[in-house]
Chains A and B, each alone.
Chain A
Amino acid sequence: MPKSYLRQSALAHLHLEAHAVEVAGDAGVDLCERPFRGQLVLRGDCTDNAFRDAVQQALGVTLPVEPNSVTNVDQVSVIWLGPDEWLVVVPDGHEQAIEQELREALAGIHFAVTDVGDSRAVIGISGPHARDVLKKGCSVDLHPRVFGPGQCAQTALARCHMLLHQVNQAPTYDIYVHRSFADYIWCWLEDAAQEFGLAIIAQAPGASAGARAPESEPVVPA
């Protein structure tokens, strides 16, 4: 892991903090970078009860076996990537300890766990028009009747590979893209959001997938 003083988030060069506001106000869309999340790729056979139980024991989260679904408890999220593949998102700095816990719990079981570090950048998009922005570049049906909180999809956004996770009803989404695409996708999102009114939100480093409270109140402007 790089020393923290050398470490920059994927969008650090944009100096987003200079444009950021505290709250979205009446903007139709708000965007933020969610820098520095611990990310592990976990692989194994989810038809094996021993594998599922061991993962549950190590993470305290039930493994999502339903395609395109996410489970989370507190600060740990497990995102379905494939029938034998998951992305485990943990608070920054906890990845090594959690990897170790997985290795211990899964000893003797066929599995793989890989710390993928900051290979994926995360951009948060929220607000009453967040869905409209995504619809401009994403072919997956995001209508609330088929896609809601706790669901994810690996697909493309503006021709770029994306892992999309709907976090809450607002709706708030986390967009995971490979790090070298982060600048392109950020610019695309800013442009696509312009017509709805855009606010850039300051985000404390280290805030993780399960860290935000709002499973509850949709953010709807008066």
Chain B
Amino acid sequence: MLLIKCPWCGERDAHEFSYGGEAHITRPENPDKLSDEQWADYLFMQKNAMGPFLERWVHAHGCRRWFNVRRDTVTHEITAVYKMGDRPPERTA
């Protein structure tokens, strides 16, 4: 069972959460000025890193809040949880 620590509710089973993809992707200021290629890049292209990855989750069956997680995509180890709008905490070791 994978436990994810909601910043509000604490540790809960992963089934309570939904995944929201890569975190910290900035929405372009002027979408209508972009080429189709640039827009598609914003919408669909994610880093899909192997190892530590910053991603968004929502506590769908709980408080329904979005937040950020740093999860190792190989081991599932979660090394940071932080609120929307915050920067990822410094990595320790």
Instruction: List residues of chain A with CB under 8 Å of any chain B CB.
Output: 67-68, 81-83, 85, 139-140, 153-156, 161
In Å, the complex CA distance between A155 and B6 comes to 12
Q: Which of B61, B64, B65 contacts A155 (CB 8 A)?
A: B61
A153: chain B residues within 8 A (beta carbon): 9, 62
A198 vs B43: C-alpha distance when bound (angstroms)? 53
Give complex CA distance A140, B12 in Å: 7
Q: Which residues of B contact A139 (CB under 8 A)?
A: 1, 12-13, 15-16
Query: Which B52-84 residues sit within 8 Å CB-CB of chain A?
Result: 61-65
- Some 5 contacts from A to B, beta carbons below 8 A apart, are A67-B8, A68-B10, A139-B12, A154-B62, A155-B13
Assess the A82–B61 pair: CB atoms within 8 A: no
Point out the residues of chain A lying under 8 angstroms from B62, CB to CB: 153-155
Partner of B12, one of A82, A85, A155, A161: A155
| Candidate in B1, B16, B63 with the most chain A CB atoms within 10 angstroms | B63
How many A-B residue contacts, CB cutoff 8 Å? Answer: 40
Min CB distance B13 to A, Å, is 4
A155 and B16 form a contact (CB under 8 A): yes
- Picked from A67, A85, A156, A161, the residue with its CB within 8 Å of the CB of B9 is A67
Q: Is the CB of A82 within 8 A of B63?
A: yes
Cβ-closest chain A residue relative to B3: A139
Q: Does B65 contact A83, Cβ atoms closer than 8 Å? A: yes
In the complex the two chains form, what is the Cα distance from A82 to B8 in whole Å?
A: 8
Question: How far apart sit A156 and B9, CA to CA, in the bound complex (Å)?
Answer: 14
Assess the B63–A83 pair: CB atoms within 8 A: yes
Closest to B6 in A: A67
**Bound CA span A153–B9, Å:** 8
What's the Cα separation between A192 and B9 when bound, in Å?
Answer: 27
